[in-house]
Amino acid sequence: MNIVEVIKHIASQVVGVKLMQGVVKAVQEDTCTVAIDYGTDEELALEKVKLNVVEGSKKSTYAKPAVGAYALIIKLPEVDNWYLLHASTTEMQHLNGKDFGGLVKVKELTDKLNAIEKLLNNFLNDFKNHTHSINTPFVGTINPGTPASMPITGTVTMGDTMKTVCVLNAVNETKVKDIENPNVNHG
């Protein structure tokens, strides 16, 4: 028994439930038009078939079908609307609304983060290994902007070099498992 037969069997147990199969002809923001073929030269176009069974809820999950997809639609007793139950092909999935935009492409995000981390780590490495040549004799505190816990004092003579003090550590590379929720897949 395929899914259509199972759903028809279940629906037949409930008085007044109507179940039809058709083809999606057009898709609007929250409705679609489904053409029902009765095996004749004419087809019935059901307009304004609701995509979201939970009306008024912006926090439900539903799919936006592709034009040309086979659709299974349902009409419940005492309700005026037809609802999309399933589509063979979808263009978009809405998971609890659409306020946050699309899902993140984890691999692409990881690659971009790793490029930034590599750039930052190269900068930190260059900064830590940077030295200054001293061309003027100096006695006193060098680099007064250094934290008080690390004052650099002493006598500097011409020809000395001064190594830069850096208290920052390298950034660890981002791994997919650090940012991926394996319970929701897409693509």
Domain ranges of the chain: 3-94, 106-179
What is the reported pLDDT for 132? 66
- Reduce the secondary structure of 47-80 to three states and give it as a string: EEEECCCCCCCCCCCEEEECCCCEEEEEECCCCC
What is the reported pLDDT for 139? 58
The larger pLDDT score, comparing residue 182 to residue 51, is at: 51
Q: Which of 40-54, 118-132, 141-155 has the lowest mean pLDDT?
A: 141-155
Q: Each residue of 52-65: pLDDT tens digit? A: 766 666 667 778 89
What is the reported pLDDT for 157? 54
User: What's the pTM value of the predicted model, to 2 decimals?
Assistant: 0.54
CATH class of the 3-94 domain in this structure: mainly beta
Amino acid at 26: A
Average the pLDDT over 88-115 and give the result.
Answer: 81
Average the pLDDT over 147-157 and give the result.
Answer: 52
What is the reported pLDDT for 71? 92
Average the pLDDT over 102-108 and give the result.
Answer: 82
Q: Which of 30-44, 72-86, 125-139 has the lowest mean pLDDT?
A: 125-139
